[in-house]
Amino acid sequence: MTAEIIDGKAVAARIRAGLTERVAELVARGLRPGLAVVLAGDDPASQVYVRNKTNACAEIGFRTFDHRLPATVTEAELLALVDRLNREPDVDGILIQMPLPAGLDGRRVLLAIDPDKDVDGIHPDNLGRLLMGQPRFVACTPLGIMRLLDEAKTPLVGADAVVIGRSNLVGKPVAALLMLADATVTICHSRTCDLAERVGRADIVVAAVGRAEMVKGAWIKSGATVIDVGINRRADGKLIGDVEFVPAALRARAITPVPGGVGPMTIAMLLGNTLIAAARRASLGHPRVV
Ligand code: NDP
Q: In terms of pTM, does the model score above 0.85? A: yes
Q: Which atom of ligand 1 is nearest to the CA of 171?
A: 25
> Is 221's pLDDT higher than 60?
yes
Q: Topology of 29-114 in CATH?
A: Rossmann fold (3.40.50)
For residue 290, what pLDDT is reported? Answer: 56
DSSP-assigned states of every residue in 239-272: EE-SB-HHHHHHH-SEE--SSSSHHHHHHHHHHH
Sheet harboring 63-69: ordered strands across? 63-69, 34-40, 93-96
> Is 164's pLDDT higher than 60?
yes
Beta-ladder partners of 161:
185, 204
Output the CA 210–ligand 1 centroid distance in Å: 5
Output the CA 229–ligand 1 centroid distance in Å: 8
- Tell whether omega for the bond before 259 is within 30 degrees of 0, i.e. cis: yes
Residue closest by Cα to atom 22 of ligand 1: 190
CA-wise closest residue to 278 among 57, 83, 129: 57
Where does the chain hold its CATH 3.40.50.720 domain(s)?
140-263
Output b/e per residue, 109-135; b: 16+ Cβ within 10 A.
Answer: bbebbbbbbbbbbbbeebbebbeeeeb
Output the CA 180–ligand 1 centroid distance in Å: 22
Where does the chain hold its CATH 3.40.50.10860 domain(s)?
29-114
> Is 163's pLDDT higher than 70?
yes
Task: Count other Cβ atoms within 10 Å, centred on residue 96.
Answer: 23
Question: Which residues are catalytic, by number?
Answer: 53, 97, 120
Q: How far apart are CA 117 and CA 277, in angstroms?
A: 6
Local confidence band at 1 (pLDDT 50, 70, 90 cut-offs):
low
Residue closest by Cα to atom 4 of ligand 1: 167
Q: Which atom of ligand 1 is nearest to the CA of 214?
A: 18
Residue 169 identity: L
Q: Please give all residues whose beta carbon lies within 6 A of any atom in ligand 1, as ranges.
A: 141, 164-167, 169-171, 188-192, 195, 208-211, 214, 229-232, 262-263, 266
Local confidence band at 58 (pLDDT 50, 70, 90 cut-offs):
very high
> Is 289's pLDDT higher than 70?
no
Output the CA 199–ligand 1 centroid distance in Å: 16
Local confidence band at 14 (pLDDT 50, 70, 90 cut-offs):
very high
Reported as a single tens digit per residue, the pLDDT across 134-154 is 999 999 999 999 999 999 999
Residue closest by Cα to atom 39 of ligand 1: 263
Pick the CATH number of 140-263 from 3.40.50.720, 3.30.360.10, 3.40.1500.10, 3.40.50.1820: 3.40.50.720
